[in-house]
Copies of this chain bind each other. A is one copy, B any other.
């Protein structure tokens, strides 16, 4: 199929215990919090209302069984958010899993669609 030269793909990875809840959206939220230390900024960057963003995180935490994000209120730096140790490790593993998988997927895609 010669038109296939212009095909693209996208792949969404979800990791879960019971229900698919930790996917690209929550991963991106965590990545932004890790980089900027602010949940509010992360919601804004992603165009999410804080109630919707908070729900995504809570549902993922509920499914995974551990806390992903820790928020502090007030204090010398005015408060902020950071990843829990488990959140850090989980995000790292998720990102490695996605990135290595994408390397393999790209090779296979090119076999069938280029």
User: In residues 6-35 of chain A, which contact B (Cβ within 8 Å)?
Assistant: 6-17, 20
Copies in the complex: 2
Q: Is the CB of A13 within 8 A of B11?
A: yes
- The residue on B at minimum CB distance from A106 is B101
Q: Which of B3, B90, B108 contacts A100 (CB 8 A)?
A: B108
Q: How far is the CB of A40 from chain B (nearest CB, A)?
A: 29
Would A14 and B9 be within 8 Å (CB), given that A89-B1, A104-B105 are in contact? Answer: yes
Give me 10 other A-B pairs in contact (C-beta within 8 A), A3-B66, A104-B105, A105-B105 excluded. A1-B90, A7-B15, A8-B16, A10-B16, A93-B112, A93-B113, A94-B112, A97-B112, A101-B101, A101-B104
